[in-house]
């Protein structure tokens, strides 16, 4: 699915606005300052049973390559270390960044360092 870029969050006027269609739009909406990414998103069903750690996985292959991982505000420094361990066998090591929300706009700020406060 193509991502829709817009300058402000999707409005919610009443609880009736929050429905399946709204959730679908939310999953493919980003701030317009990310338009340069020309992002496509893929939603897949994980039909295989979970592994021994109760995790489901989608294998990367010739048509799907992990290029970047962006960690959100709820990711800890410990999560970052675990991510590094999980990515160490990637053929092409993906970039890793932290994302912060701006309080004054529907936007994210990407940084190479973790947020300064503990989560």
Indicate the length of the chain as a whole number. Answer: 119
Question: How far, in Å, CA of 57 to CA of 46, rounded?
Answer: 7
pLDDT tens digits for range 12-67: 899 998 999 999 999 999 988 888 888 888 877 777 788 888 877 777 677 777 88
Q: Count the neighbouring beta carbons within 10 Å of the beta carbon of residue 32.
A: 13
- Residue 5 pLDDT exceeds 90: yes
Instruction: Supply the pTM of this predicted model.
Output: 0.52
- Strand 108-111 versus strand 95-101 pairing type: antiparallel
- Reported as a single tens digit per residue, the pLDDT across 78-112 is 888 888 888 888 878 888 888 877 777 666 777 87
Q: Rounded CA gap, 14 and 111, in Å?
A: 35
Give the chain's radius of gyration (CA, Å).
17
Q: What are the extents of the domains in the chain? A: 1-47, 60-119
Q: Which residues pair with 30 in a beta bridge?
A: 5
């Amino acid at each position: 699915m193509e991502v829709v870029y817009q300058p402000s969050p999707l409005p919610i006027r009443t609880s009736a606005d929050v429905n399946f269609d709204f959730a679908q739009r939310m999953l493919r909406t980003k701030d317009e300052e990310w338009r340069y990414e020309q992002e496509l998103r893929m939603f897949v069903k994980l039909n295989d049973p979970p592994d021994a750690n109760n995790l489901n996985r989608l294998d990367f292959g010739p048509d799907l390559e992990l290029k970047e991982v962006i960690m959100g505000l709820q990711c800890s420094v410990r999560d970052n270390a675990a991510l590094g361990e999980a990515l160490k066998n990637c053929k092409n090591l993906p970039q890793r960044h932290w994302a912060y929300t701006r309080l004054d706009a529907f936007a994210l700020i990407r940084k190479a360092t973790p947020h300064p406060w503990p989560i």
